[in-house]
Structure 1
Amino acid sequence: MPWFLLVAVILFALNLRGPIVAIAPVIGQIREELGLSAATAGLLTSLPVLCFALATPLAAALIGRAGPERAVLISLTGILIGTLIRAQGGFVVAVIGTLVIGIAITIGNVVVPVVVRRDFPASRVGIVTGVYTATLNVGAMLTSLGTAPLADWLGWRAAITAWAVLLVAAILVWGQAAGWRSSIFGDRATAADTSEVAPAHSASYRSLTAWLLMLAFGGQAFSYYGITTWLPTILHEVQGLDNKSAGASSSVFQVLAVVGALGVPVLANRWRPGSVVGLVGTLWLAMPLGLLLAPQLWPLWSVVGGAAQGGGITIVFIIIVRMSTSNDQARGMSAFVQGGGYLLAATGPSIVGAVHEASGGWSAPLVVVAASVLVLLAFGVTAAARVESRHP
């Protein structure tokens, strides 16, 4: 087990969701200062997710040309630049910085399954995937928990910029773990022939299982970003928590994902994938329905939903790795599933915000989230059944 590389992957993962989630605890302050509607403010969370969809083919091509080592460094540097830009001006500048962050994170989303499959023992792929997914949520939890207090002290602009410290640390550790020469100049031995990029990606379009996984991933990601963006506001408006407490309380949803992310690989080694997807989807569904029917029990729903959303993304990645027979296929499948899934998810924050404004409450938005979880459940179980028939 390459332990130092695992540390580098963990630090990398810390920065792949935090910059997006950092907006949620201060979205009220941003709306007030910049004069934005709820749907427009939701773009600051949904635009990176849209980038995940639209930029995924370009990310796959970049990884094939530059190699995984250099692609990771490009990703981290891009997130850093976008983070610094985002807080410097008005809404247009914030959008530009957000787009840079989104494109850079897209590269990271696609390259991680390639690195995991290539550099870690096959017997450890599941647990490394779980650690990676758990760390995504730890990064989201840190920013969810810390951004509001930082904003009270320094203002929202400095608060969302302060997390650049984690990016600098990740760049330094990755360069040391992967080698600065390979990270900066690339390594021909690890870069795929660019002529293989298009076939690897296009082959996924002909796979029904890939389409089912893409729809399942879309349901998972739509639900996650819809809840992540608006949970602090829901807790503030429905439960009467102040902004700082609402931001801190919503971090429960993020940190409990660690349980699901680490628990699902263990279950996946003992249960059929369809059973794991069924359990995850059922637990996930408890969060929007629980907030709808018994909002006073929000800590319970955050615990259950948090564990489920951490497990949801993990089981999809595990199925992708199991289906793939080569690095090129892993890259193509990862790009296709994430690209299409995030295209659906990109609408989540804005749709949930728009439904809230149209209805004047949070019941209808929570029904929308519940419907999205059902998409994960239905298509995920179907995709898993097809994988089981090929890999019993």
Structure 2
Amino acid sequence: MGLLQKDRTPPRRSVVRDRPPTGHPDVPARRGRWLLALALVLTALNLRPAISGLGPVLAEVRRDLGMSATVAGLLTSVPALCFAVFGLTAPRLAGRFGPARVVLVGLAAVSAGLGLRALAPNTAVFLATSALALGGIAVGNVLMPVLVKRFFPDRLGLVTGLYSMGLALGTAAAAALTIPITRALGDNWRLGLAGWAVLAGLALVPWLVAAPRLRGGDARLTAGTRREADPPPRVSRSPVAWALAVFFGLQATAAYITMGWLPQIYRDAGVSASTAGLLLALVMGMSAPLSFVVPALATRLRTQGPIVIAVGLCGLVGYLGLWLAPAAGAWVWAVLLGVSNTAFTVALTMIGLRARTGAGVIRLSAFAQSVGYLISVPGPLLVGALNGATGGWSAPLALMLALLLAQVCCGVLAGRNRCVEDGH
């Protein structure tokens, strides 16, 4: 019962005006809140395995499907592109059907896409079914902060922390368990990947049970979105929205570079392949406990700049360590980069804080994540190109340091106590 106790968040002028109190018709009853919190966490667990679970068996997938190296390389950028493109559709879908229904259908698309991907006879079908799953993930990315804002307005930091922790656990679990599952099922990569489709299917259960309880609040949010969207606020003209979008994009760039290249940086420094994999797991796993703490802290602050600076400094030290002594301090740098990786959780929290209304959160979430994921697309490719051109990691790490400094600056601007509705 202690998990969902009310946050003692001091009132903040730009955030609390639109928060309905406990007992408001949009806030579910106590039992319904537990069920919805469970649904959100289980959904979060399924928003990354489609990506992190593929890497460990990519060599087998390429061999069996005849996938070229070029296509395999592009797979690192496809998720960000899908998140950007499909994420733009989320506000319109939520305005028509309600965000809870859209998330439920999106989760069903994740389960179907992952299941069908495991049966793909060729590369084209593999890419198409992957896009189906990634489209479902994209609408979940955008609308999860909306559901937290609407149904847990007095527990914004706590519930954001819960589902952020679910995201981190899902990412790490898929990376760590796909190979053991594949081996246990006869070294069949198709069965190994299909297991994550089953997990997504199981996550549908609490949503289906909770659906009758959410219908009223979902309908009110849908109606409210339609009213407020005439005329719609121009989120694209808001400096707050742009600062948050660039901050989101730069932290996503850092995350994709880390997932794609950190093990190779360690291996080139003389670290064994198995240890390099464990170091990456540590980086991703650090996000799980910290993602539970960071949002609760962020919502208690008038501005989120201090947290942005703190996690950014950890990243700067981590990158410098990789540059100067990658093997000698390998575990220390991994811990620091794991702390820096919680910038994603800070960004999600700020999406809920930088808009007053549910409709505002929908538009801000779609804008910040879609623009942000587009910004993140070239990062991993550019790091690989620099490594190939220079034969080392000094130039890529210098680029990563520069991007992190820009990330901190944008995060401080996005963390100011302003909302997109303010128009400045």
TM superposition score normalised by structure 1: 0.88
Counterpart for residue 342 of structure 1: 373
Counterpart for residue 77 of structure 1: 108
The equivalent position to 1:49 in structure 2, one of 74, 80, 84, is 80
CA deviations over 1:92-130 (Å, ceiling 9, x no partner)? 2222122112211111011111110111142x1012112
1:172 aligns with 2:205: yes
The equivalent position to 2:360 in structure 1, one of 316, 324, 329, is 329
1:299-310 to 2 correspondences below 5 Å:
299-310=331-342
The equivalent position to 1:16 in structure 2, one of 19, 31, 47, is 47
d(CA) in 2 for partners of 1:341, 1:174: 28
Counterpart for residue 172 of structure 2: 141
d(CA) in 2 for partners of 1:326, 1:84: 37
d(CA) in 2 for partners of 1:224, 1:266: 22
Cα distance, 1:360 vs structure 2: 3.7
What one-letter code is carried by the residue in structure 2 that aligns with 1:157?
Answer: R
d(CA) in 2 for partners of 1:233, 1:101: 28
Cα distance, 1:72 vs structure 2: 1.3
Counterpart for residue 133 of structure 2: 101
The equivalent position to 1:115 in structure 2, one of 126, 131, 147, is 147
- In structure 2, relative to structure 1, the CA distance for the partners of 1:351 and 1:125 (3 Å cut) is same
Give the total of aligned pairs.
383
Q: Which moved more, 1:322-331 or 1:153-162?
A: 153-162
CA deviations over 1:144-200 (Å, ceiling 9, x no partner)? 1112333445243332222122101101122113349959xx964442467558668
1:383 aligns with 2:410: no
- In structure 2, relative to structure 1, the CA distance for the partners of 1:264 and 1:194 (3 Å cut) is closer
d(CA) in 2 for partners of 1:188, 1:270: 32
Counterpart for residue 395 of structure 2: 364
Cα distance, 1:18 vs structure 2: 1.9
The equivalent position to 1:160 in structure 2, one of 193, 205, 208, is 193
Cα distance, 1:225 vs structure 2: 1.2
Cα distance, 1:334 vs structure 2: 0.7
CA deviations over 1:54-79 (Å, ceiling 9, x no partner)? 22221111111111221111111111
Cα distance, 1:250 vs structure 2: 1.7
CA deviations over 1:252-272 (Å, ceiling 9, x no partner)? 111101233123234322574
CA deviations over 1:208-234 (Å, ceiling 9, x no partner)? 111011111110001101211233444
1:351 aligns with 2:391: no
d(CA) in 2 for partners of 1:56, 1:256: 27
Counterpart for residue 231 of structure 1: 262
- Let me know the Cα RMSD of the aligned residues: 2.8
- SS at structure 2 position matched to 1:325: coil
1:118-129 to 2 correspondences below 5 Å:
118-122=150-154, 124-129=155-160
d(CA) in 1 for partners of 2:91, 2:270: 43
d(CA) in 2 for partners of 1:237, 1:143: 25
Cα distance, 1:364 vs structure 2: 3.4
d(CA) in 2 for partners of 1:369, 1:85: 37
CA deviations over 1:283-322 (Å, ceiling 9, x no partner)? 1233333222222122222222112212x12222222222
Paired residues of 1:46 and 1:348 also in contact (CA < 8 A): no
d(CA) in 2 for partners of 1:332, 1:181: 21
- In structure 2, relative to structure 1, the CA distance for the partners of 1:138 and 1:115 (3 Å cut) is same
1:4 aligns with 2:31: no
Gaps in structure 1 of 5+ consecutive residues: none
Q: Which moved more, 1:280-289 or 1:95-104?
A: 280-289
1:313 aligns with 2:348: no
What one-letter code is carried by the residue in structure 2 that aligns with 1:50?
Answer: L
Gaps in structure 2 of 5+ consecutive residues: 5-32
- In structure 2, relative to structure 1, the CA distance for the partners of 1:253 and 1:82 (3 Å cut) is same
d(CA) in 2 for partners of 1:146, 1:121: 35
- In structure 2, relative to structure 1, the CA distance for the partners of 1:126 and 1:241 (3 Å cut) is same
- In structure 2, relative to structure 1, the CA distance for the partners of 1:179 and 1:386 (3 Å cut) is closer
